[in-house]
Structure 1
Amino acid sequence: MKVALFTDTFLPDVNGVARTLGRWVDYLESHGATCRVFAPQSDGEAGSDYNSLLVERFYSVPFLLYPECKLAIPNPISIKKTLQEFKPDIIHCATPFNLGLYGLHYAKKHKIPVVASYHTHFDQYLQYYKIQWVEGMLWRYLGWFHQTCRKIYVPSRSTLHYLMDRGFSNLEVWSRGVDVARFHPEVDREAVLRKAGANPDKLSLLYVGRLAPEKSVDVLLEAYDQLPEELKSQTELILAGDGPLYKELTESYMDRTDIHFLGFTEGTALTDLYAAADLFVFPSATETFGNVVLEAMASGTTVIGAAAGGVQDTVRHMETGWLCQPGDAGAFAEAIATLLENDTLRSTMAQSGRAYSELQTWDSIFSRLLDSYRQVVPELGELSNHELAAAK
């Protein structure tokens, strides 16, 4: 099987989409498939050196609604030459924008089966950037782009229904997994919190993600300040992430010793933080999945999230975590207070969350996606045994 993937983010970019697509390409290659990835240049530490024989990079510019995501400027001549030599069996468009548009055009022209994956509710970002008037045009374009796709993969059941309500068809859930060997509860809590500049003698609330308007970080900060004074004096808030609000927030809260902005955090420093925190609080209502929620659950930390988007598909209220009305700082404050004051309830939810995460394996998820690819190109189904043998 030969797979051509068009995307606006790929490794070594550090975000959920890039990492998921990177894992998917590695899985395909390990199961006998051959891939070619068309992606923007990366600002990651490893630059564009990630498997340069597999990935073709293009000059790019920041995307207005998500500056960390780049819009590539495709080189049609270069892409056409690569695709003619590669002869893909299937084209996967993980973006509806520049590169994805070229992939769709090539697939139509050469009658190659095309699938797409939907990763971001860009329409929900518009209100935060004061350009709501774009929404109608955006949905008309997205409808046109996806109408000829054999499959449209979405990260969660909520996202599937969200798109169904807007007239999309051929939808299929492609969920997300978590590496429970990497994200686990065992950690030296005191050492981790001291390293983060926090007081290990206090209870710790953790947020991980972009510091951006659409993530509702303001709701988290307001909820924290609404905690009863006695409880708040025993608690600290840690925010790990960068983004357009980072400078503004660090300046606004520079005199607060109980709020810690760590900036971009990754690797062991991040996995240790997840496990060291007493609660993980994630107020974003715009997630199609919310990888950080599943990572926190795998780390044995109870999650408080918004009852919206993909988060509500991962968290079962009062079982594997606590869901609050989106945007309701009072509800988040109440949930935080209740769980911090009830160790038994918090521990029970944490254990249930960890048990749930252990069932979300990448191999089982990718196996189903590979089967779906073969449904799109039935003649490739007969290659499956050969591919599995080759992989061994």
Structure 2
Amino acid sequence: MNVLLIPSDNSKSSGAFLSMVQLAKLLRDNYDCNVYVMVQRKGNGSELLMSNGIPVFYNRAYNWVISIGEKRTFAFRVQKLAKEALNWIAIKKLNIWLKRNNIDIVHLNTSWTYIGAVSAHQCNIPVVWHIREFLEEDQHDEIWDKKYGYRLMSDSSKIIAISKSIYNKYVNILPKDKLSIIYNGIDSVRFYREKHVILNAENVNILITGTISESKGQIQIIKACRCLVDSHVENFTLHIVGIGSEEYTNKLQALVKKLELTDKVVFHGFCGNTEQYYEKSDITCVCSKAEAFGRVTIEGMLSGTLVIGAACGATEELIQNNKTGLLYEYGNENDLTNKIKWAVTNKEIARSIANCGRTYAKENMTAVINAQNVYSLYQEVMEKKNENKN
């Protein structure tokens, strides 16, 4: 089976891109698929693909997502028309490439990109569309022309939602019979730490990792740290791993200084090997408002840390409260503080919950399981295509 995967970005720091790379490797190694990736822009993700022996096809194109509330001025519309014209050139180029390489399935990796679907339809090739994000709710973005966008997505052979939360958003927008829930998969070889025991040292290491942005909720855990100190819990360090806009990062650093937490909070910046932080952490916090899946949640579980997450979005699906992790009320720093204090004062129970989380993630949320489910879906698509031929 010849498969073309199309991401919307080209960055090895992108969760969606990393998930795609892992999927590509497993489809190739476990299911004998010939997997190619078309990238629409220059970036360091290409290096990761090539280092894993995955062929890369560069075809310059633009995404169809804009910021919510972005003013659609005359200049903006002219720019949009210019991008669409360039996209049509990219589509014609892709048509030739698809036919030359006898592609069986075109698989779009996110809802940000679309030219692969247009090209596949023109070449009569089935489309699988992966929806990995909450555009409006989390990223504050939207498809430029939703009516056209949803119609194009509806023409896919299959649409993958990476969580029940994503499925519930789109089940009344896109064809229900084409929607499937396939949870994201995490590299268990990289993150699984069977012997990691938490809360053994005097100092408690708390970790929050991912893009630094308002939607990821770093501000909540920083404020919770102040609450911890005020309630005489001072033997902890908060590690913030990730990058974001300079403006918002400066805002968080200023808050840390204002709350007199400079000796309690450490900003580490971007790290390509986040497993090293999980290995040294006791608690992983997931404070996002609208997590479409939450790689961090499963990475934290696989690593054996106690995951404390906001009770919203897909985080609420992945964590069984008091069984595989702890849930707190989003936006309620006092509740988050109390969950951390409970873990610190009930270490044996907290360890047991973390161990259950590790087992749950290993048995249900690995990249191997994800690839198996995706390949089964591919087989359905190809069987239907062959039936239609006959």
| TM-score, shorter chain, exceeding 0.5 | yes
Cross-structure match for 2:135: 122
Match of 1:91 in 2: 106
2:269 matched to 1:266? Answer: no
Q: Distance in 2 between matches of 1:138 and 1:326?
A: 32
1:335 counterpart (335, 339, 342): 339
CA distance in 2, matches of 1:57, 1:138: 26
CA-to-aligned-CA distance 1:360-382 (integer Å, 9 cap, x gap):
33223212211111111117899
Cα contact 2:40–2:60 (8 A) shared by 1? yes
Match of 1:108 in 2: 121
Deviation at 1:304, TM superposition (A): 0.5
Unaligned runs of at least 5 residues, structure 1: 191-199, 383-392
Q: Deviations over 1:319-341 (max 9, x none)?
A: 00111222222221121111122
- Which residue identity does 2:253 align to in structure 1? T
Partner of 2:181: 173
Structure 1 pair 138–239 and aligned structure 2 pair: CA distance change class (3 A):
farther
1:186 Cα deviation from its structure 2 partner: 4.2
The correspondence for 1:313, drawn from 317, 329, 345, is 317
**Partner residue, 2:79:** none
**CA-to-aligned-CA distance 1:128-163 (integer Å, 9 cap, x gap):** xxx8xx68x665354223111111101112221222
The corresponding residue for 1:204 is 205
Amino acid at match of 1:362: A
Q: Which residue is 2:223 aligned to?
A: 222
Calculate percent identity across the aligned residue pairs.
20
TM-superposed deviation, 1:77: 4.4
1:373 and 2:378 aligned: yes
How do 1:179-328 and structure 2 match up within 5 A?
Answer: 179-183=187-191, 184=193, 186=195, 201-227=202-228, 229-244=230-245, 245-253=248-256, 256-267=262-273, 270-328=274-332
**Alignment-mate amino acid for residue 147 of structure 1:** S
Distance 1:60 1:101, change over 3 A: closer
Distance 1:106 1:180, change over 3 A: closer
Q: Distance in 2 between matches of 1:45 and 1:84?
A: 25
Cα offset, 1:109, TM superposition:
1.8
Q: CA RMSD in A?
A: 3.1
1:240-278: CA deviation from partner (whole Å, max 9, x where unpaired)? 1111222332344356111100011222xx213212212
Structure 2 CA distance for partners of 1:168 and 1:328, relative to 1, 3 Å: farther
Hey, what's the Cα distance between the residues in 1 that align with 2:318 and 2:36?
A: 32
Task: State the secondary structure of the residue aligned to 1:232.
Answer: coil
How far residue 86 of structure 1 moved from its aligned partner, in angstroms, is: 1.1
Aligned CA distance change for structure 1 residues 239 and 16 (closer, same or farther; 3 Å): same
Whole-angstrom distance in 1 between the partners of 2:343 and 2:48: 44
Opposite residue 186 of structure 2, the aligned amino acid is V
Contact 1:96 1:142 in 2 (8 A): no
> What is residue 19 of structure 1 aligned with on the other side?
18
Structure 2 unaligned residues grouped into runs of 5+: 69-82
Paired residue for 2:71? Answer: none
Report what 1:155 is aligned to.
162
Secondary structure of the residue aligned to 2:326 is strand
* SS of equivalent to 1:288: coil
Distance 1:24 1:140 in 2: 30
Q: Is the 8 A contact 2:95 2:120 kept in 1?
A: no
Deviates more, 1:202-211 or 1:28-37: 28-37
**Matched positions, count:** 358
Deviation per CA, 1:297-327: give whole Å up to 9, x if none.
Answer: 1111111101122211211011001112222
Q: Is residue 186–residue 275 contact of structure 1 (8 Å, CA) maintained in 2?
A: no
Aligned residue identity for 2:300 = A
Deviation at 1:93, TM superposition (A): 1.8
Q: 1:168–1:378: structure 2 CA closer, same or farther, 3 Å change rule? A: closer
Aligned 8 A contact 1:275 1:296 in 2 = no
- After TM superposition, the structure 1 stretch with the greater mean CA deviation from structure 2, 258-267 or 106-115, is 106-115
Q: Is the 8 A contact 2:197 2:351 kept in 1?
A: no
In structure 1, give the amino acid aligned to 2:3.
Answer: V
- Kindly indicate whether the alpha-carbon contact (under 8 Å) linking 2:324 and 2:356 is maintained by their aligned counterparts in 1: yes
Amino acid at match of 1:266: G
- CA drift of 1:355 comes to 1.1
Q: Give the secondary-structure state (helix, strand or coil) at the position aligned to 2:114.
A: helix
Alpha-carbon separation, structure 1, partners of 2:46 and 2:280: 29
Alignment deviations for residues 19-70 of structure 1 (CA, whole Å, 9 cap, x no partner): 111111112222222222111334328748726871112447897669xxxx
Query: Within 2, Cα distance between the matches of 1:343 and 1:188?
Result: 11
